[in-house]
Amino acid sequence: MDLSFSSSLSKTFPSSSSSSFLSVSNPFSFQLSGKPNTSQLLRFSPNPGFQCRIFFRKPLLSRENNHVVRAAQSSEQSENDDFVLEDVPHLTNFLPDLPSYPNPLQKSQAYAIVKQTFVSPEDVVAQKIVTRKDSARGVHFRRAGPQEKVYFKSEEARACIVTCGGLCPGINTVIREIVCGLNYMYGVEDILGIEGGYRGFYSKNTIKLTPKVVNDIHKRGGTFLRTSRGGHDTQKIVDNIQDREINQVYIIGGDGTQKGAALIYEEVERRGLKVAVAGIPKTIDNDIAVIDKSFGFNTAVEEAQRAINAAHVEVESVENGVGVVKLMGRYSGFIAMYATLANRDVDCCLIPESPFYLEGKGGLFEFIEERLKENGHLVIVVAEGAGQEYVAAEMHAAEQKDASGNRLLLDVGLWLTHKIKDHFTNVRKMTINMKYIDPTYMIRAIPSNASDNIYCTLLAHSAVHGAMAGYTGFTVGPVNSRHSYIPISRVTERQNTVSLTDRMWARLLASTNQPSFVISDALLQERVDRETIEEINNKKINSI
């Protein structure tokens, strides 16, 4: 049976078994529902026309040219059990005759002692780890790691690395480990560094990267290759890749950078080039969807403790001391939340996801006054994206964006400091001592800590294994602590934000004993109901 259909459609087709169906909702997502037949294999080739075929044969134990999803048979599976693999593209999808080669790791001394050197092509990682007995198996991603077959000979591989966007602890570690991983594990010696971000492809010189050149760059902050925002011109970039005969591209950057990586992959595929495009997601704010966390986040939370501790010492040493510490978090308050939970000296944490108000019962001013009367001092941590609507309205500021398309933020920390001082000096007639600390660029510019260094190594090696195995148009990251290959569209479709109905935010409120700034129980219930309805609707959409 041969089923073909356009990727713009969403249809359900019956298989040879009346209780098993194939459901396709996008080019990289498919679903088997009902009790599957163990002889069924779904082979997936996301070529430009998107053809999907079902073959009925014995399950394969390895995969070479096509993506394989097998639904395992179990007598304990319920009738509602279904399995979804959101797979990533492979070079053989548009270059079907591409030859493969044995992985050099077969002869590696480092991997000789490993019980299972290679990842099975059938290994997947579940996106949702906590489920109920009768719930669906849900979405899975391909597990990252070395594959038995590779699609690049060591002497033919020519890789390049580029870093884009803002700074973040750990970038240099990722660069170093991509270079060392390619060289030590796969014998690749031709590695280029693209200087100055995306525009470096067509306006800057490149630098030859070797393990010796990058040997100690992980001890430095910033990016060894320098960076920039914007400058993405897909045609010029791919022209340069083609002219330089580059066949592996490693792109380190955040949301906008990964969207650019997707465009590069699409153009590479359109031209039929043997070029693997791998993304390594970077954002200090931890706002990338799907993955457990982004690199640099642990370092940022740890370094933020120095600023919070300094603010606490300052306010504790004076009468009615009020300290305000502004931390990073344009749209997501993860750094502020985790830094607050880690410190224990913070009295109030303000994040973009949780609206707050200053005056009136239950407002910030009332809370500050009560805490000053109780302790004589107070520390407030505020994420840079919190309260922007108040600042913009008061300053009559028009919305502006940077070269990456991000909204330029106003200084909420400085604004909040002035509002607190004006209120207590002029309205409450109280003498207070204000202290304001903004450690943003100090945190961004430091080297990564031990935890992030290990994490960056795993990210880099996963990207190298994936590109050498012929995967392309993917990004890497941990999903439930297991590194996976994820379609770029999944990590750029939305931003990861703090959920005010999750236990972590409740833990923070319990730790600081601050107000939730929710005006009434009715408003809270309305918000919860709205999120519940949205969650149900999303599940319905995903199940179509």
**pLDDT reading at 20 higher than 70:** no
**pLDDT reading at 36 higher than 80:** no
The token pair at 269 is: 């595929």
The mean pLDDT of 211-219, rounded to a whole number, is 96
Give the pLDDT score at 529: 55
Edge-to-edge order in the sheet of strand 433-437: 348-350, 377-383, 321-327, 433-437
Identify the DSSP state of 58: P
Q: Which residue has the tokens 């319905």?
A: 540
Query: Is 292 known to be catalytic?
Result: no
**pLDDT reading at 248 higher than 70:** yes
Residue 525: pLDDT band by 50, 70, 90 thresholds?
low
Identify the DSSP state of 73: P
Decide: helix, strand or coil at residue 40. strand
The token pair at 179 is: 């270079």
Q: What b/e readout covers 291-330, taking b as 16+ CB neighbours within 10 angstroms?
A: bbbbbbbbbbbbbbeebbeebbebbeebebbbbbbbbbbb
- Whats the size of the chain, residue-wise? 544
Residue 204: pLDDT band by 50, 70, 90 thresholds?
confident
Give the pLDDT score at 130: 87
Give the pLDDT score at 332: 94
Give the pLDDT score at 10: 37
Residues 389-401: pLDDT tens digits? 888 888 766 566 6
Decide: helix, strand or coil at residue 55. strand
Residue 465: pLDDT band by 50, 70, 90 thresholds?
very high
Reported pTM: 0.81
- Judge contact between 244 and 192, C-beta under 8 A: yes
Q: In the structure, how many helices (H) and strands (E) does the chain have?
A: 15, 22
**pLDDT reading at 522 higher than 90:** no
pLDDT, greater one: 353 or 78: 353
- Judge contact between 142 and 485, C-beta under 8 A: yes
Q: At a CB cut-off of 8 Å and minimum separation 6, what does 476 contact?
A: 144, 278, 279, 280, 281, 459, 462, 463, 466, 483, 484, 485, 486
Give the pLDDT score at 456: 97
Q: How far is CA 1 from the centre of its chain?
A: 39
Residues 89-143: pLDDT tens digits? 999 999 999 999 999 998 888 887 888 889 998 999 999 888 888 888 899 999 9
**Percent of the chain topping pLDDT 90:** 67
- Judge contact between 356 and 364, C-beta under 8 A: yes
The mean pLDDT of 372-383, rounded to a whole number, is 96
Q: Chain-wide mean pLDDT for the chain?
A: 83
- The one catalytic residue among 285, 287, 345, 347: 285
